[in-house]
Amino acid sequence: MTSFASPLFLDGSPESESAFREAVQAAQETILFCFANLDRPYSGESPLVLSELAKGMNRTFATGEALDAVIQQVGQSILRHSAVVTHPACIAHLHCPPLIASVAAEVIIAATNQSMDSWDQSMSATFVEEGMISFLCDLFRYDHHADGVFTSGGTQSNLMGLLLARDAAIERHLGWNVQKQGLPPEASKLRMLCSEVAHFTVSQSAALLGLGHQAVVTVEVDSDYRMCPEALDRKLMELEEKGLIPFVLVATAGTTDFGSIDPLKSLSERARKYDMWLHVDAAYGGALKLSSLHSYKLDGIEYADSITVDFHKLFYQSISCGAFLLREKSDFKYMQLYADYLNPESEQSHTPNLVGKSLQTTRRFDALKLYMSLQHVGVERFGSIIDTTIALASNVAVSIEQDPSLELLHKPSLNAVVFRYVPHQLPASRDYEQWSDEINGHIRNTLLLDGIAVLARTKVAGKACMKFTLLNPQTTLHQLEAILEQVKGIGSHYEIEEGQKQNERCKTFS
């Protein structure tokens, strides 16, 4: 079959229908044979080999090629060297195996290609998204004043929260309209507060919002990595003395490394007292609202002026999928713009055009994924999946704590577990911390490049650590213990081999 004669679009003809069926079927088979059945979380191929492989890919852009051949090539050259997110040992990041329901929804989203910016591009989809937002507002115990929008993820949701906080504060404190007039001269006095382990997108947003990293004031955390309210009080006093304007408090519900949840109630009291916007970054921890065992950990989140929640993390949706929730919907006015061709002002009352609530114009119908997933899985089972992963994290933390060759860095509050390998001996003339960092880095890379496990690395108080992020409910304690055995095996092997080499080198030089 020549490719140029094949139907390119669905058009209701039998030829186009079979081309669609065959293409989706071929994509399916490739996923099953080149990805889903892989027995390792990563092929282990080095970045160099993969970059050569990509360069060597036979590009037939000039003439085109049959789609089934294209799909096969994708399977062989690309999918085989993917992070196998469905594998129980792919446990590095907040990077989930997607629910089958979410994947099926993706096919529908892609094929029907609705765009959420204006109602005339997403007639029923607009109302489904509104319905999902209303479900989410109820879930987070917001009242009928609330509203929200689906976003590409936490980065965008955090930026939106901080943008609205900035503009509301500048209007309130200075009677100035940022949307029309840009930043006022006093903007350099504005300060944002967050904990020292808040997500980097807080600083990134500060820069994007024209306030600069200098506007971010970080507050110390307690031994469980939660913002310390007394330290916040001290920072607020300092800012007051310096005549600076703290306008937003960012609380994190689920920090990326530790899963720690800031004390939301105490922070909401401070936010009220000091007239600050409270934004809760619940990108990771927001999913606890589905769990009957753990949802109490988010008590107080309903006092937030805005909330970030990600669905492509603990809600098991394929990337990308997130939401921004706003306690007082009229605050969207700081972003609202009208375009005659999309959302004319005169039309606002009878047809919803969601573009006014988003930083994106053309936007995917990601709400369908969450809708289909909840509709299929149900909140109760969803909650128990999350509970399983939290129990797994606390169980493996116990194993780590009891092992003298390993050090646990925190008591997990969600399903992330940070730990490190503890070296037994120190080669001559080596600094202990440096040596430990080197070994921990080596262990993590070996696990990755031998295709044994994909773990994350992070630093805690300057020390190199490894991290499990246990989103996959099918990962077992037994599998994690086997990975820990490998961690210790690789670590002690390196200590012996590399330690000896270094000792000998020392001898020859001395």
Ligand X SMILES: *Cc1c(COP(=O)(O)O)cnc(C)c1O
Q: List interacting residues with ligand X (CB under 6 A).
A: 94, 153-155, 158, 199, 201, 252, 254, 256, 281, 283-284, 310, 322
Compare residues 199 and 270 and give the one whose CB is closer to ligand X: 199
- Positive or negative: CA dihedral 222, 226, 227, 228: negative
Query: Residue 344: which region, alpha, beta or left (left: phi > 0; alpha: psi -120 to 50)?
Result: beta
CB atoms within 10 A of CB 346: 9
What does the alpha-carbon distance between residue 190 and residue 187 come to, in Å, rounded to a whole number?
A: 5
* Side-chain-side CA neighbours of residue 199 (13 Å): 28
Q: What's the min distance (Å) between Cβ of 150 and ligand X?
A: 12
Closer residue to ligand X (CB): 317 or 475: 317
Per the CB < 8 A criterion, the answer to whether 202 and 156 are in contact is no
Strand order in the sheet with 463-469: 406-408, 416-421, 463-469, 456-460
- Rounded to a whole number of angstroms, the minimum distance from the CB of residue 252 to ligand X is 6
Strand partners of residue 150? 323
Contacts 24+ apart (CB under 8 A), 6-15: 6/66, 6/67, 10/111
CB of 97: closest distance to ligand X in angstroms? 16
Smaller CB distance to ligand X: residue 118 or 201? 201
Both tokens of residue 162? 């901080």
Shortest CB 282 distance to ligand X, Å? 8
Distance separating alpha carbons of residues 182 and 244, to the nearest angstrom: 19
Nearer CB in complex with ligand X: 114/155: 155
To the nearest whole angstrom, how small is the minimum distance from the Cβ of residue 205 to ligand X? 10
CB of 141 to ligand X, least distance (A): 20
| Residues 6+ away with beta carbon under 8 Å from 410 | 224, 225, 258, 260, 418
For ligand X, give the closer residue by CB, 277 or 284: 284
- Reply yes or no: is the peptide bond before residue 320 cis, omega within 30 of 0: yes
Q: Which CB sits closer to ligand X, 121 or 256? A: 256
- Measured from the CB atom, the residue of 154 and 352 that comes closer to ligand X is 154
Q: Could you tell me the smallest distance in angstroms from the CB atom of residue 253 to ligand X?
A: 8
Closer residue to ligand X in complex, CB, 254/300: 254
Percent of the chain as helix, strand, coil, to the nearest 5: 50, 15, 35
Closest separation in Å from C-beta 142 to ligand X: 20
| Least Å from the CB of residue 307 to ligand X | 12
Residue 283 or 455 with smaller CB distance to ligand X: 283
User: How many other CB atoms are there within 10 angstroms of residue 292's CB atom?
Assistant: 11
| CA-to-CA dists, residue 142 to 102, 108, 138, angstroms | 26, 30, 6
Residue ranges of E strands in 257-340: 277-282, 306-310, 322-326
